[in-house]
Amino acid sequence: MAMGLERPAKFQEYDLLELREKKTETNDPEVEQYFKAKELFRKGFELASKIPNETTDEILRKHEGDIFESTKYLVEAFLVDEKATEMSPRIMALAQQYEKLLKLQYGGEDIERSKEYEKATTFEESLILVIWLLFNGKQFQFCIQTLSIALNQLEQSLHPRLLHLRASCYLATGDNKLCIKDLERLVALNPNFVDAYSIQGLIYMQQDDRVEAVRAFKSYIEKANKDSIGYANALYALSVLTIQNATATATSSRKQSLQNLRTQQAYNYYDKAKEAEKRFEYLYGHPPEMTDVKRTAMTLFEKTSRDSKNEKPKNSQLEAERLAPILQQLLSMQPQTSLAAANITGAGANDSGINEKKCHNCGSETRKDENGEIKEEKKNKLLICTGCTSTYYCSKECQKKDWKQGHKQQCGNSKQVLLKQGAQSG
């Protein structure tokens, strides 16, 4: 007997736009993708529901066209946006019917027929269907293997989406290195795949690489639609990352100016995040969820605003100069646990693009790695010690050597100087 037409209920954030009649008020391409995938899924599921839930040869032959067509709709929906799809017993049964029907058409010992199957469009659909089942079932290791096969055998136009899925699997299994590698390949193929930059930024924050985290989040802000769900959180991340770099000791007027500029930039990011949240609440009817990054930003900037008598910073150098010492004092006294909760503590780097220092250990003015080579865009971005925020290194290897050779004691003294200056400024 055929299944009923009612499909499983799965409510996503984007569905609020339709419910609140706000769908036409945004031009976010992610919204458009979601509803395109949702319509494809609806068509596929309704067609599948009309097929008897049996796997006899007679039933399969009789409903062959509907089985292939419904599977095509469902697989395409998954490729467009998996959030719009929902695995259910009927779709699991359809997958069994589909695979058995393929065996009837292309199976057996006939090698030529097997080759014909590999050339057929059904081969692509069959592979994506397996990936969908594994991904939905959180069988990430098997999903990674199947995605690797798909990347080798399916057309290149599908590669960005397949790489995104495999990167998601690597992220779920804790393999951040391979996740980043796939995301880099993804944006090389499709620079406008904005979700990749957001994932990169979060991973780099976890790895204490402030320079790369800033680069990733800036790319996201540059390319993402302002109505994107993650837009406000990316701005909060940039505000926190930027204010960290604004706390370096200012021993010259040039450095003080750079510190003031970064402080103002951090405030600008924070204000833009607040504006993005208002827009989100207008569209979706509720504020974005609280994240560790947002919580850290609120701790820093809201407390600073209270300490400065609730005066909103103006876009001027004078206001930046006034607020810089207050923020410096606050961050100097900020408990490490608050920053750790946001996954942004640890060794970072100078993200201004200006190479103002030399490596404290070897004197190099450019970055290095263990092999003596590094990407071109990172060469002028030295690492900075986050203990004293005033000592630079070309590599983590040099940082470790210098630590053992005496910076451990110097770093402690420098930090006390910073604390004293921060207290005097406050």
- Give the residue with greater pLDDT, 212 vs 361: 212
What mean pLDDT do residues 125-133 have? 93
User: What is the overall mean pLDDT for the chain?
Assistant: 79
Residue 343 has pLDDT above 50, yes or no: no
The model's pTM is 0.68
List of long-range contacts for 359-365, beta carbons under 8 Å, 24+ apart: 359/392, 359/393, 359/394, 359/395, 359/398, 360/391, 360/392, 360/393, 360/398, 360/402, 360/407, 361/393, 361/394, 361/398, 361/399, 361/401, 361/402, 361/405, 362/394, 362/398, 364/394, 364/398, 365/394
Which tens digits make up the pLDDT trace of 216-268?
A: 999 999 999 999 999 999 999 999 999 877 665 455 566 677 778 888 899 99
Looking at residue 44, what is its pLDDT? 95
* Residue extents of the structural domains in the chain: 1-137, 226-346, 353-421
Name the residue among 153, 93, 92, 165 with its Cα closest to residue 123.
153
